[in-house]
Amino acid sequence: MTGWTFAGLVVAGGLGAGARALLDAWVMRRRSGPFPWGILVVNVTGSFLLGLLTGIGADTLGAWTIVLGAGLLGGFTTFSAVSVDTVLLARRGRARLAWANLLGTALLSVTAAGLGILGGLGLAAVTGMGY
Phi, psi of 93 (to 5 degrees): 80, 20
93 assigned binding-site residue: no
pLDDT in tens, 20-47: 999 999 999 999 899 999 999 999 999 9
pLDDT of res. 59: 72
Q: Which of 58, 80, 40, 76 is closest to 130 using CA atoms?
A: 58
**Residue 12 above 70 pLDDT?**
yes
pLDDT in tens, 102-124: 999 999 999 999 999 999 999 98
Mean pLDDT of the chain: 94
Question: Is 74 annotated as a binding-site member?
Answer: yes
Picking from 60, 55, 32, 35, the residue whose alpha carbon sits closest to that of residue 112 is: 55
